[in-house]
Each structure stands twice: as structure tokens, then as C-alpha cells.
Amino acid sequence: MTMDKEIYARIGSIVLFINGSVEMLAPVMLLAPTEFLPAGFQEKIIFWASLSTIYGLSRLIAG
């Protein structure tokens, strides 16, 4: 079975869209209780949530 470049591009864009959508849910981390977060992660949670949101947006745009 051979697949042409259009199919590969479509599969890639779908994967980027799904991954970007999942990463856009990162701000939900801010609502998590502190006992569920790792010790070193608690003071950097806003940084990681915003960074993940930026990555998610870039993947949605790329897809």
C-alpha cells in the first residue's frame, strides 16, 4: 500500500491538531490541588502552564 504526500500531510496536521488541543488544556493545572503536584513543580506552575499553552497554540497554527 503506497501513500502519497497529501495523505502524510493530512495525518501530520491531524496529529498536530490533537496534540495542540491537549496542550491547550494546560491552564487546568492551575486548578489542581497542591498535593497532586510534584514538589519542584509547585513554584513554577504558572510558567509551565503558559509555556504549554504557547506550544499548543503553535501546534494548532502549524496543523
pLDDT means over runs of 10, the chain (63 residues): 80 86 79 76 76 82 75
| pLDDT at residue 2, as a whole number | 65
Q: For the chain, how many structural domains are there in total?
A: 1
Residue 12 lies in a domain: no
Residue 24 lies in a domain: no
Residue 51 lies in a domain: yes
Residue 58 near residue 17 (C-beta atoms within 8 A):
no
Q: Which domain holds residue 61?
A: 39-63
| pLDDT at residue 40, as a whole number | 72
| pLDDT at residue 63, as a whole number | 66
Distances in Å between the Cα of 5 and the Cα atoms of 9, 12, 14, 41, 61 are: 6, 10, 14, 41, 20
Query: In whole angstroms, what is the distance from residue 20 CA to residue 36 CA?
Result: 24
| pLDDT at residue 1, as a whole number | 56
Residue 62 lies in a domain: yes
pTM over 0.85: no
